[in-house]
């Protein structure tokens, strides 16, 4: 605390870094101030549980960029919690000081400020300085660039090894980061090596001895987001981590095995719950946005539609069904192609067909939600299918009235149209048929059955088959039942698809 002074001004209390003690608190936090010495607030992307603003301030002849993070109440119980324990901004402030004490880097905290309305907090704020020439390590590894400068393969490996040492040192000190994802670690390059800054520290804590389950929690969080890393790079990280955290070879192997198992379990759970399959998961997740408008509710991929746009989309969905390019229209379904938010998508609506029909699909789940679930499952298994970006249900009288599945549009002909092309070489036709058999084999290996496998449900994109119309899919665990349906699926491929080439 030696670098901070305690302040109390206009109802605000907290701590300000001594370097900024001459700046009035109002200039640090008031969004209405905007002049040559203090820029206007610019809202930046953040989680749903916080608000983050960026602005600049002229100070001592230089311009500094600051980030102001507000921590609003997440629920009514949150207000009660803050009566008996420190607020989120307070915990982030103290965690930042604790990390610096153990030679772990965080963005420099400019101020921690609070304002109360009676006994309850009305404002909870943390202001941090920007990290110059830094970038999230996930972006650095994906683009092979740090602050606009390219990094070589050797640089990348050195970065991974050094990051492993940092995480190992953190755990050796008994510290657990509350949300240790690659996006919460920023990396910058210096003459002496790499520097890693940890952000979002409100749940970071120190223990006399780091509990085993918290060590696993951090390692699983990192392993989930490490899909872009090669296996050798993961081994480099792990060796550096084990050495820095002072764990022996046998314990290191044990922990690595448990981390892999828990990572698989988390990924499987994510595909089951955070994609809106269960009825009790109407909540936001890092890659899924829940939304509601009137009697419409649904889940949308965050990259497709996020925040307030989600409710706006639900409001417009019927208008898009009327104005889009109609691909199919019958009693049971209506399929249209349209563009939204620069995405080329296909919306398939499963029409209302009477109270009994709605009652059945309310009990067992709508056909659109079934497509949503299997679409995510097949994407996770690398089985080619139309990417799902949303599922919407309209409910009336407590029943699922209509449901909608949103998929990325697949540009390409059906497999029948492809095989009947006269300008296509024989070798390409054989290749597509072979890849179709491989796709069916992938389904069988993962206990999946597509009960409507016909030519119009297999589209050819870049000379490879892509499966669509997943509402007839099933997953079987019984070996006898699976072998029975597997034979039926293979017979359909042979009778409906493979014979196409013979007719040509």
The enclosing domain of 206 has a CATH number of 1.10.510.10
Tell me whether strands 193-198 and 205-206 are parallel, antiparallel or unpaired. Answer: unpaired
- DSSP character at residue 467: E
Q: Whole domain around residue 497: which residue ranges?
A: 415-503
Per-residue confidence (pLDDT) for residue 444, from 0 to 100: 79
Per-residue confidence (pLDDT) for residue 147, from 0 to 100: 79
- CATH number for 107: 3.30.200.20
Per-residue confidence (pLDDT) for residue 280, from 0 to 100: 38
Residue 367 lies in a domain: yes
In terms of domains, do 113 and 76 share one? yes
Per-residue confidence (pLDDT) for residue 396, from 0 to 100: 87
Give which of 351, 363, 374, 346 is closest to 449, Cα–Cα: 374
CA dist., res. 126 & res. 17, Å (int): 12
* Last residue within a domain, chosen from 243, 273, 303: 273
In terms of domains, do 124 and 9 share one? yes
Residue 498 lies in a domain: yes
In terms of domains, do 139 and 234 share one? yes
The number of domains in the chain is 4
- CATH number for 365: 3.30.200
CA dist., res. 164 & res. 223, Å (int): 12
Residue 225 lies in a domain: yes
Per-residue confidence (pLDDT) for residue 283, from 0 to 100: 40
In terms of domains, do 315 and 213 share one? no
Per-residue confidence (pLDDT) for residue 172, from 0 to 100: 95
CA dist., res. 168 & res. 487, Å (int): 51
Residue 231 lies in a domain: yes
Per-residue confidence (pLDDT) for residue 93, from 0 to 100: 95
pLDDT tens across the length of the chain (504 residues): 788 999 998 889 999 999 988 888 888 998 888 888 898 999 887 776 788 999 999 888 888 999 999 998 877 787 788 888 899 999 999 999 999 999 999 999 999 999 988 888 889 999 999 988 899 898 888 788 887 888 898 999 999 999 999 999 999 999 999 989 888 999 998 888 899 999 999 999 999 999 999 999 999 999 887 766 888 899 999 999 999 999 999 999 999 999 999 888 877 665 444 444 343 333 444 467 778 888 888 888 877 877 667 888 888 899 899 988 998 888 889 999 998 888 899 999 999 888 888 898 888 888 898 888 888 888 878 888 888 889 999 988 888 899 999 999 988 888 888 888 888 888 888 888 888 888 888 887 888 878 777 777 888 888 888 888 888 888 877 777 777 777 777 776 666 666 655 554
Per-residue confidence (pLDDT) for residue 206, from 0 to 100: 95
In terms of domains, do 80 and 104 share one? yes
Give which of 205, 211, 197 is closest to 166, Cα–Cα: 197
Residue 281 lies in a domain: no
Per-residue confidence (pLDDT) for residue 269, from 0 to 100: 62
In terms of domains, do 147 and 260 share one? yes
Per-residue confidence (pLDDT) for residue 34, from 0 to 100: 84
Residues 6+ apart with CB under 8 A from 436: 415, 458, 465, 493, 497, 498
Within 10 A of 307 (CB to CB), how many other CB atoms are there?
13
Residue 279 lies in a domain: no
Residue 282 lies in a domain: no
CA dist., res. 157 & res. 229, Å (int): 10
Which contiguous run of DSSP H or E holds residue 313? helix 308-323
* Last residue within a domain, chosen from 205, 240, 273: 273
Residue 433 lies in a domain: yes
In terms of domains, do 426 and 392 share one? no
In terms of domains, do 167 and 259 share one? yes
* Last residue within a domain, chosen from 408, 436, 455: 408
Per-residue confidence (pLDDT) for residue 70, from 0 to 100: 92
In terms of domains, do 139 and 260 share one? yes
Give which of 159, 145, 77, 70 is closest to 113, Cα–Cα: 70
Per-residue confidence (pLDDT) for residue 77, from 0 to 100: 81
Per-residue confidence (pLDDT) for residue 240, from 0 to 100: 95
In terms of domains, do 361 and 428 share one? no
In terms of domains, do 243 and 303 share one? no
In terms of domains, do 386 and 440 share one? no
Per-residue confidence (pLDDT) for residue 118, from 0 to 100: 84
């Amino acid at each position: 605390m030696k670098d901070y002074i305690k302040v109390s001004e206009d109802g605000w209390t907290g701590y300000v870094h001594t370097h900024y003690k001459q700046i009035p608190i109002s200039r640090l936090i008031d969004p209405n101030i905007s002049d040559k010495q203090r820029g206007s607030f610019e809202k930046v992307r953040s989680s749903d549980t916080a608000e983050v603003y960026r602005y600049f301030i002229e100070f001592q002849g230089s311009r500094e960029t600051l980030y102001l993070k507000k921590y609003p109440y997440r629920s009514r119980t949150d207000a009660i919690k803050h009566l008996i324990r420190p607020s989120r901004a307070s915990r982030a402030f103290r965690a930042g000081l604790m990390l610096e004490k153990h030679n772990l880097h965080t963005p420099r905290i400019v101020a921690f400020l609070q304002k109360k309305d009676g006994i309850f907090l009305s404002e909870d704020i943390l202001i941090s300085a920007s990290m110059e020439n830094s970038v999230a390590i996930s972006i650095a590894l994906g683009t092979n660039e740090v602050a606009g400068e390219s990094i070589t393969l050797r640089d990348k490996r050195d970065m991974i090894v050094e990051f492993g040492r940092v995480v190992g040192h953190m755990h050796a000190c008994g510290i657990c980061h509350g949300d240790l994802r690659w996006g919460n670690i920023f990396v910058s390059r210096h003459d002496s090596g790499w520097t890693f800054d940890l952000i979002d520290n409100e749940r970071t804590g120190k223990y006399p001895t780091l509990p085993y389950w918290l060590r696993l929690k951090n390692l699983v969080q990192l392993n989930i987001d490490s899909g872009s890393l090669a296996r050798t790079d993961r081994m480099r990280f792990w060796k550096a981590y084990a050495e820095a955290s002072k764990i022996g070879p046998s314990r290191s192997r044990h922990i690595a095995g448990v981390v892999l198992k828990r990572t698989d379990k988390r990924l499987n759970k994510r595909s089951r719950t955070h994609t809106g399959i269960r009825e009790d998961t109407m909540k936001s997740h890092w890659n899924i946005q829940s939304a509601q408008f009137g009697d419409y509710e649904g889940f949308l991929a965050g990259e497709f539609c996020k925040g307030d746009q989600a409710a706006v989309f639900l409001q417009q969905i019927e208008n898009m069904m009327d104005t889009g390019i109609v691909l199919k229209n019958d009693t049971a379904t209506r399929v249209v192609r349209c563009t939204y938010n620069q995405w080329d998508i296909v919306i398939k609506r499963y029409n209302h067909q009477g109270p009994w029909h709605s009652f059945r699909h309310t009990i067992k789940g709508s056909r659109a939600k079934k497509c949503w679930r299997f679409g995510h499952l097949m994407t996770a298994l690398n089985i080619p299918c139309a990417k799902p970006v949303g599922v919407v249900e309209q409910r009336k009288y407590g029943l699922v009235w209509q449901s909608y599945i949103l998929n990325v549009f697949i540009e390409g002909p059906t497999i029948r149209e492809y095989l009947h092309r006269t300008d296509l070489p024989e070798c390409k036709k054989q290749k597509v048929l072979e890849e179709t058999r491989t796709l069916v084999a992938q389904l069988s290996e993962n206990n999946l059955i597509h009960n409507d496998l016909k030519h119009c449900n297999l589209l050819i994109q870049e000379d490879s088959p892509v499966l669509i119309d997943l509402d007839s899919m099933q997953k079987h665990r019984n070996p006898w039942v699976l072998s029975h349906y597997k034979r039926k699926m293979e017979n359909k491929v042979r009778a409906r698809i493979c014979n196409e080439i013979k007719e040509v």
